[in-house]
Amino acid sequence: MYLEKFGWSFLANLMPLIITPITLLVLTRYLSPEEFAVVALVTVVIALLKILKDGGLSQIVIQSKSTNTRNVLFTIQLIICIFLVVLIWIFAPYIAILIGNKEVEEPLRYASLELLVLPILEIPILASMRDLNFKPHFYRKTLVPILIGLFSIFFAANDYGYWAIIYGTLVGTYLSVAIMTFKSSWKLKLDFNFTKITPYLNFGGNLFLQSILSWVMNSLDKAFLSNHNDKASVGYYEVASRVSYLPFSLISVPTNQVLYPVMRKDKLKNNDIRKFYLISSRLMAYAVLPITCFILFYSEEIIRLILGEQWLIVKDILPPFILVSLAATFVTINVEVYKAIDKTIVMTRFMLARVLITIPVYWFSAMSGLLHLAYARAILAFLFSPINTLILLRNSNIFLKDYLVSLRKPVLISMGLSVIFFIGESNIFDFNSFYMAIFFTLLVYLYILIKEFVPIIKKDVGT
């Protein structure tokens, strides 16, 4: 019964994650590592602004049944966005100095203008998620990255440098908003009755703090790297992180974004949530582990093929980022489960403890260069991910043995695939091991599809 709800939402979240990497791969042919460094640092600041804009309140649209709540949220976010844009235009020079690259100043100012239309763009998406009406959600989330990608590539091909991404994002976003506002049944309306969202503030406060802590863990390393290294290092670091993130983002991210709405809408009981978690974890492992092994063994060939020779240095920092992505696959679902069982405070406390360790580790490892920073991030991920999972299992009354059993088969399959890759790389046999690896990886996914996913689909359709 979950398949129909899941399908459109999965596609809605998947399409941007397919389109955006394709855009990135094209842009690497036009932009230098130094130009990507500017974009990466601008993105760090804009990501923080988006968290401040949201304030943890977006999930209120999913929790609340009232359409008036959407108008209140739109009003609050619009006020916050105007305030943030004004601040950025005033303090951009100081922010550029703080993150170690003065060239960021002007791009940051113009990039902040995206915030002004985000409330118009995002609230209808959240409303459709609340109603599990994911078809319009799919069209909205697909249109935006397509337009941003097309305009960014157009500007890059015409030698706009890093401004290609800044202008492409602005033009694509504003045009998307214009199209979707014309088509949308939801009409913009200001509502200053802020008391309507008071009952949800505690829930939203925890999510807001989690978002801030997540930003620190996922973005602050680039700012530290910029302060201690040359501009190109940040560019290489950014591209490596995006490429390694692909398996995780293409599978885990779109899956996770639908889990909480489904669990909330269907009011799953604790026992159902436990089963849902174990099944989701197993399917995540099946989907991500094989392709992760493939990238680990053939990172150099992949970089040559999709990025080009100028990015070959990335091969040295790709393995630790792959490990970070792999660790994230097994823990990001935890956030959604905590929401469903109303224990978001547990995740908030855990993330706060991790951040207190992460900040000094990032700072000192960044002083030694991008390779040390990348491996420091991987070590932190593999240190805290098991702790994260153990805490969740305890809070949701899931036995560790049941969790390990759910992962046993995908882990064994991936280990077998790794043995095949190792044999191919050792040149024992005289054939092209890269294309052999592609063949065996596709064969494994065909087996997984037939043996694991098809039975679940049949069972779901039958109900």
Q: How confident is the model at residue 456 (pLDDT cuts 50, 70, 90)?
A: low
pLDDT score, position 366: 92
pLDDT at 192 over 80: no
Q: What is the mean pLDDT of residues 85-108?
A: 92
> In sequence order, what are the residues at sequence separation of 6 or more whose Cβ sits closer than 8 angstroms to the Cβ of residue 117?
173, 174, 177
Dist. CA 367–CA 385, nearest whole Å: 25
Residue 187: which region, alpha, beta or left (left: phi > 0; alpha: psi -120 to 50)?
Answer: beta
pLDDT score, position 42: 93
pLDDT score, position 293: 84
pLDDT score, position 361: 94
Asked if 373 and 320 touch (Cβ cutoff 8 Å), the reply is: no
pLDDT at 2 over 50: no
pLDDT score, position 129: 59
pLDDT score, position 365: 93
pLDDT at 198 over 50: yes
Q: What is the mean pLDDT of residues 231-245?
A: 85
Least confident of 1-5, 55-59, 259-263, 380-384: 1-5
pLDDT score, position 372: 92
Burial of 324 (0-12, 13-18, 19+ CB in 10 A): buried
pLDDT at 126 over 80: no
pLDDT tens digits, 11-44: 666 666 677 778 888 888 888 889 989 999 999 9
Q: How confident is the model at residue 1 (pLDDT cuts 50, 70, 90)?
A: very low
Q: DSSP letter at 380?
A: H
Dist. CA 322–CA 292, nearest whole Å: 7
Cα 285–287–289 angle (5° rounding)? 55
Asked if 132 and 265 touch (Cβ cutoff 8 Å), the reply is: yes
pLDDT at 164 over 90: yes
Least confident of 3-7, 185-189, 304-308: 3-7
Domain borders along the chain are: 3-462
pLDDT score, position 288: 82
Q: What is the value of pTM for the model shown?
A: 0.79
**pLDDT higher at 296 or 131:** 296
Q: How confident is the model at residue 312 (pLDDT cuts 50, 70, 90)?
A: confident
pLDDT score, position 410: 87
pLDDT score, position 461: 42
Dist. CA 274–CA 392, nearest whole Å: 11
pLDDT at 163 over 90: yes
pLDDT at 443 over 80: yes
pLDDT score, position 290: 85
**pLDDT higher at 191 or 215:** 215
Q: What is the mean pLDDT of residues 196-214?
A: 71
